[in-house]
Structure 1
Amino acid sequence: MTAATPRPAKTYTITELAHEFDVTPRAIRFYEDMGLLQPSRAGRNRVYSLRDRTRLKLTLRGKRLGFSLQEIRQLVTMYDSDSDTAPQLQAFVQALAAHRAQLEQQLEDIRVTLDELAMHEARCRQLLADASAPKAPRRKA
Structure 2
Amino acid sequence: MKLRYFFVITFISFNISFAYQVKPENRVIEYNKKTEYKNLINQANKLALNKNIEKSLETARKAYELCPNKKEALLIMARVYNFKKDFLNLRKTAEKIVEISPSNYLGNIYLANSYMKSDRVKVKEILTSLLKKHPQDAQITTKLKVLNEI
Give the TM-score normalised by the residue count of structure 2. 0.26
Q: Which structure: greater helix fraction?
A: 2
TM-score, normalization by structure 1 = 0.28
Structure scoring higher RCO (CA < 8 A, sep ≥ 6) equals 1
Structure (1 or 2) with the greater strand fraction = 1
- Larger-gyration structure (1/2): 1
